[in-house]
């Protein structure tokens, strides 16, 4: 069986439900994990799981929208661990979906655009100098099929995801000279992440209620355009992240890895 080793790699991870799952997978593959988020109790729970399995994890409460905090954290990790090899951003924010342009306020439109593009920009800005110094690394972001789908109802989210993918492509070119790869994973909704307390649960709730069902019932169905039998699993997401972070994906940069279930065809 092919194994994607991350032995002794140093990984900084920003994000909650998906970030925690990726942290466990990275640690299982041998990486030293530095996990950040907004809720200390959730971060500590992930770190305990990793330590119980024999892995290494440190946690810190860091605001992924605060430039100085992000720079300080990356500097501290690099000083403690001797460098940073992997950065993974799965930061999410509760935002409005389901409203057409005529009913969408500028603030509600701009919130996801500002949050997702800012946090991914700051992740790259914080870790790139350390990756440059050591001769390489990989920066991984997350988007959704909304980046290339028509509306209605998720204009801000669509522009945010398109922006994250644009950052991925641009950084691939800018950072290539320093042997730094930049890859985005475009995933459809992940039912396990919503069940684990991801912000997506509250984002999906209005749509589910409008159809007279729970979020779980809605995600258990087959969304329009889905060509495979089900939405992507959390295990598929984290396995993809491990592969992208590993040397097996060493020729991959500027890419958007498609986990949309066929909703988007590349």
pLDDT in tens, 83-104: 999 999 999 887 788 889 999 9
Which pLDDT score, from 0 to 100, does residue 168 have?
98
Q: Where are the domains of the chain?
A: 10-259
Per-residue pLDDT for 20 more than 50? Answer: yes
Over the stretch 34-78, which tens digit does the pLDDT of each residue have? 999 988 999 999 999 999 999 999 999 999 999 999 999 999 999
Per-residue pLDDT for 204 more than 70? Answer: no
Which pLDDT score, from 0 to 100, does residue 217 have?
63
Which pLDDT score, from 0 to 100, does residue 1 have?
42
For the residues 189-200, what does the mean pLDDT come to? 68
Of 39 and 247, the structure prediction assigns the larger pLDDT to: 247
Which pLDDT score, from 0 to 100, does residue 196 have?
55
The residues, ordered by sequence, that sit 6+ positions from 145 with a Cβ below 8 Å of its Cβ are 161, 186, 188, 260, 263, 264
- Token match 């950084």: residue? 171
Pick the CATH number of 10-259 from 3.40.50.720, 3.40.1380.20, 3.20.20.60, 3.40.220.10: 3.40.50.720
Out of 147-151, 187-191, 201-205, least confident range: 201-205
Which pLDDT score, from 0 to 100, does residue 104 have?
94
Nearest to 184 by CA among 89, 102, 104: 89
Out of 16-20, 31-35, 80-84, 113-117, least confident range: 16-20
Please give the structure tokens belonging to residue 206. Answer: 């209005």
The predicted model scores a pTM of 0.91
111 confidence band (pLDDT: 50, 70, 90): very high
Nearest to 128 by CA among 116, 118, 141, 137: 137
Over the stretch 119-146, which tens digit does the pLDDT of each residue have? 999 999 999 999 999 999 999 999 999 9
Mean pLDDT of all residues belonging to the chain: 91
Nearest to 37 by CA among 186, 157, 198: 198
4 confidence band (pLDDT: 50, 70, 90): confident
185 alpha-carbon distance from chain centroid: 7
Of all residues in the chain, the percent with pLDDT exceeding 90 is: 76
Euclidean distance between CA atoms 263 and 108, whole angstroms: 26
Q: DSSP H helical segments within 143-190, as ranges?
A: 155-175
Number of H helices, E strands in the chain: 9, 7
Which pLDDT score, from 0 to 100, does residue 153 have?
86
Out of 1-15, 124-138, 165-179, 226-240, least confident range: 1-15
Euclidean distance between CA atoms 14 and 90, whole angstroms: 6
Per-residue pLDDT for 265 more than 80? Answer: yes
Out of 64-78, 138-152, 189-203, 237-251, least confident range: 189-203
């Amino acid at each position: 069986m092919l194994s994607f080793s991350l032995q002794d790699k140093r990984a900084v991870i920003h994000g909650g439900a998906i970030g925690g799952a990726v942290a466990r997978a990275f640690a299982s593959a041998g990486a030293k994990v530095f996990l950040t988020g907004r809720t200390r109790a959730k971060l500590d729970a992930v770190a305990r799981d990793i330590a119980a399995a024999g892995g290494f994890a440190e946690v810190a409460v860091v605001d992924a929208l605060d430039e100085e905090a992000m720079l300080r954290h990356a500097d501290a990790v690099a000083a403690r661990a001797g460098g940073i090899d992997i950065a993974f951003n799965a930061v999410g924010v509760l935002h409005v979906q389901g409203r057409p342009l005529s009913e969408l306020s500028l603030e509600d439109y701009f919130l996801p655009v500002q949050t997702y593009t800012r946090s991914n920009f700051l992740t790259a800005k914080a870790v790139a100098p350390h990756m440059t110094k050591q001769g390489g690394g990989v920066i991984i972001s997350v988007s959704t099929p909304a980046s290339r789908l028509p509306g209605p109802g998720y204009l801000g989210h669509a522009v945010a995801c398109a922006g994250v993918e644009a950052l991925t492509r641009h950084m691939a070119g800018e950072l290539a000279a320093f042997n730094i790869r930049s890859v985005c994973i475009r995933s459809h909704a992940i039912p396990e992440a919503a069940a684990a307390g991801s912000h997506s649960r509250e984002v999906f709730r209005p749509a589910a209620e409008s159809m007279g069902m729970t979020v779980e019932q809605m995600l258990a169905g087959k969304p329009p355009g889905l060509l495979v039998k089900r939405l992507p699993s959390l295990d598929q997401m984290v396995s993809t992240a491990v592969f992208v972070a590993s040397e097996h994906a060493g020729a991959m940069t500027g890419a958007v890895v498609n986990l949309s279930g066929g909703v988007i065809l590349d």
